[in-house]
Amino acid sequence: MSAEEKCVKCGGTNMVPSELQSTGKMYARPKKAKLSTILTTGVLIRGSICLDCGHVDLSVDVEKIKAVSKAS
Ligand SMILES: [Zn+2]
């Protein structure tokens, strides 16, 4: 794993990995992506929850979201 994650809100280090859930995993897609891209791809949203203050930090894979954005 990478360097220890810190909470951006309180600076706490008790971060635990999480996934947003609906009936399945949730994905982010750039608005400008082509329809075919929107229908077939998405970038998984990763989350980290701070056990000190409850802040949920969300992020996506930068390289993947760039690739999807360029597909239009
Ligand atoms: Zn926190």
Q: What is the pLDDT of residue 1?
A: 44
What does pLDDT average to in each consecutive run of 10 residues of the chain (72 residues)?
78 88 72 67 83 92 81 55
Between the CA of 57 and the centroid of ligand 1 the distance, in Å, is 9
Q: What is the pLDDT of residue 46?
A: 85
Q: Nearest 5 degrees, angle CA 70-CA 65-CA 47?
A: 170
Between the CA of 49 and the centroid of ligand 1 the distance, in Å, is 8
Between the CA of 33 and the centroid of ligand 1 the distance, in Å, is 34
- Sign (positive/negative) of CA torsion 63, 67, 70, 72? negative
Q: What is the pLDDT of residue 14?
A: 94
